[in-house]
Structure 1
Amino acid sequence: MTMHTDQVDVTADIVTTLVKEQFPQWSGEEIRPLPAAGTVHAIFRIGTGLAARFPLRLADAAETLAVLEREARASAELARVSRFPVPEPVALGEPGEGYPMPWSVQTWLPGTVASDADPSGSDAFAEDLAAFIAALREAETCGRQFSGDNRGGVIADHDDWMTTCFEESEGLLDVPRLRRLWSRFRELPRTSADVMSHGDLIPGNVLVTGDRLTGVLDTGGFGPADPALDLVSAWHLLRPGPRDVLRRTLACDDLEWERGKAWAFEQAMGLVWYYVDSNPTMSLLGRRTLDRILESTR
């Protein structure tokens, strides 16, 4: 089952042809799909050192290229400030036979995604995660501010989306209770300036070895946002004890902590119903995050 009504099918044969035609220097490398629960890209290994990323949702080729170029610049910028390995941009591919949009190539990072090797009970992992977030916060915004309609700006701007989520979640979740919680979250005031943020610290974007953070993926959204945005990781990735370690290490006050919880709530609500049939891993992530948030508000 596809995840999106406008999803583009990408196969290893298509990728092999595109690589052979556009990047002959890699044509002898093995091409293999990466089993993943991601929702934005299909990812294929190229040999042992590279990964090709193909946007899943059909879009205008010129617009897609602009997005990929912007993501490449953001990824390169994040790589310069991160204390942990992150993928670095290598090349941009063009539309070709079997695939109608531009695509990207980046370096491959070893490790296991946190959704497969759960580090949620590790204080050391929480300290690593805090160090990563702190390094991003210390990076210069260069006068840039949050722009866009995704998470990271004004919480209440997401009312329409949340209305949709509540309606679609009837029969799946305790919607009356969740509506009451959102009514409180949406009123949380913003009191601090934007900082540089990863923007999507969910288990599928975090690499671990043992119980330590060893890399961070999906860095193309690096940019200025609410300082609380990267605190979604506290709820997506951590149990109560390590969650407290993250909070103490980052010295979060009550308001910032609650705003981070609000952003995690907004994200989790969309995951549960949208992917309930097409991507059970993402749907279960949303449920688990909501359970953690509800447990913390009793």
Structure 2
Amino acid sequence: MSVVVDENLVRKLIAAQFPRWAGRAIERWPSGGTVNAMFRLGDDMAVRLPLTKGGAKDVALEQKWLPRIAPRLPTPIPEVLGAGAPADGYPWPWSVYRWLPGENPRPEALGSPVPLAEDLTEFVLAMRRIPAAQAPALAHRGGPLATLDAETRSAIERLRAIPEENVDCDAVLALWDEALRAPVWEKAPVWLHADLMPGNLLVDGDRLSAVIDFGCMGVGDPACDLFPAWNLLPSSGREVFRETLSVDDATWNRARARTLSQALIALPYYRKTNEAMAGNARHVIRAVLDEVR
């Protein structure tokens, strides 16, 4: 099920549930995301509404955990200012957040990637230090690579049938098979953002200014939070990221394969509907293959 979400709906929801904010300007905010609609509310707030039932569960997760983890992190994250309820034909919970300024980083536009890599390292390490007691487990995103095997192989075969994408399917399949033989994570699970895509990062110049969209967060294999090594950072930043995180070979191989898997699945799915997602998928595939060649 999907619903139409526009300024008029947001205006009615705000007026009924948060009348103190009624009358503020409401403007849809352009985003490459596919799960939520985002609106500016005045100058200092944002309204975020799920577009599908699958995205609605993330609302409760953020409302519960963001206030708990925010004091432990060095980087600003979304602050929930209001918890909205279903109404006016809109069927799911939603949230009002404090607005976080910044821009999404673009791999091709990074001026000084090393400071950004250092900031990302600090954030990832701080997430790992959060006590994992009672945290939600991530079976799919934070579990063994084998849980992604069928979907990844299916995506590779879909890409074989799209020659204009020019993906070396034999090379990515060989890399995937090799990664499946890497040792699994057998230590205690750690806290993960679990979706560190460029669209979920905000920068001010060359520095990380905020991390957003924690709808996938939970505990699992730390390899899952190494995505920026390939979806954002060039080789110089990637080396700093790995070194300062002290990533062993097995974890690095799992992380690279997870990032590649996400890209392989995203490219055939989004190539005609979401250029931001498809473009980053192409970037990841190139970055991964360049690293191993």
TM score, norm. by length of structure 1: 0.90
The CA deviation at 1:175 is: 2.1
- For the residues of structure 2 that align with 1:145 and 1:44, how far apart are their CA atoms? 28
> Structure 1 segments of 4 or more deviating over 6 A?
none
Give the SS at the match of 2:30.
Answer: coil
- For the residues of structure 2 that align with 1:116 and 1:16, how far apart are their CA atoms? 36
- For the residues of structure 1 that align with 2:119 and 2:229, how far apart are their CA atoms? 12
Match of 1:283 among 263, 278, 284: 278
Residue type of the alignment partner of 1:178:
V
Aligned length: 288
Q: Which runs of 5+ in 1 are unaligned?
A: 1-5
CA deviations on 1:100-149 (whole Å, 9 max, x unpaired) are 3221111211111114994375211111111111111111112657343x
Give the SS at the match of 2:222.
Answer: coil
Question: Does residue 111 of structure 2 align to residue 139 of structure 1?
Answer: no
CA deviations on 1:150-205 (whole Å, 9 max, x unpaired) are 31111011112113212322213222222222111222212432111111111001
Residue type of the alignment partner of 1:87:
P
Question: Does residue 258 of structure 2 align to residue 267 of structure 1?
Answer: no
- Aligned partners of 2:46 and 2:98 also within 8 Å: yes
Alignment CA distance shift 1:116-1:237 (3 Å): closer
Which residue is 1:218 aligned to? 213
Which residue is 1:3 aligned to? none
Question: Does residue 159 of structure 2 align to residue 169 of structure 1?
Answer: yes
Question: Does residue 63 of structure 2 align to residue 69 of structure 1?
Answer: no
Residue type of the alignment partner of 1:155:
L
Alignment CA distance shift 1:7-1:163 (3 Å): farther
Which residue is 2:36 aligned to? 41
The CA deviation at 1:236 is: 0.9
Alignment CA distance shift 1:265-1:164 (3 Å): same
Which residue is 2:24 aligned to? 29
The CA deviation at 1:290 is: 1.0
Alignment CA distance shift 1:58-1:193 (3 Å): closer
CA deviations on 1:58-103 (whole Å, 9 max, x unpaired) are 46xxx93x54222212222231211011111122212222523221
- Aligned partners of 2:107 and 2:233 also within 8 Å: no
Give the SS at the match of 1:51.
Answer: strand
- For the residues of structure 2 that align with 1:224 and 1:255, how far apart are their CA atoms? 19
Which residue is 1:232 aligned to? 227
Which residue is 1:18 aligned to? 13
Alignment of 1:64-143 (within 5 A): 64=56, 67-115=58-106, 118-119=109-110, 121-142=112-133
Alignment CA distance shift 1:145-1:120 (3 Å): farther
Give the SS at the match of 1:153.
Answer: coil
Question: Does residue 179 of structure 2 align to residue 179 of structure 1?
Answer: no
CA deviations on 1:267-290 (whole Å, 9 max, x unpaired) are 111211111111011001011011
Q: Percent of pairs identical after alignment?
A: 36
- Aligned partners of 1:268 and 1:287 also within 8 Å: yes
Alignment CA distance shift 1:258-1:57 (3 Å): same
- For the residues of structure 2 that align with 1:236 and 1:242, how far apart are their CA atoms? 12
Give the SS at the match of 2:13.
Answer: helix
Which residue is 2:143 aligned to? 153
Residue type of the alignment partner of 1:128:
D
- For the residues of structure 2 that align with 1:115 and 1:12, how far apart are their CA atoms? 28
- For the residues of structure 1 that align with 2:43 and 2:2, how far apart are their CA atoms? 27
Give the SS at the match of 1:112.
Answer: coil
The answer to which of 172-181 and 193-202 deviates more is 172-181
- Aligned partners of 1:119 and 1:212 also within 8 Å: no
- Aligned partners of 1:84 and 1:216 also within 8 Å: yes
Task: Indicate the RMSD between aligned Cα atoms, in angstroms.
Answer: 2.0
- For the residues of structure 2 that align with 1:198 and 1:99, how far apart are their CA atoms? 28
Alignment CA distance shift 1:35-1:129 (3 Å): same
- For the residues of structure 1 that align with 2:217 and 2:69, how far apart are their CA atoms? 7
- For the residues of structure 2 that align with 1:215 and 1:72, how far apart are their CA atoms? 18
TM score, norm. by length of structure 2: 0.92
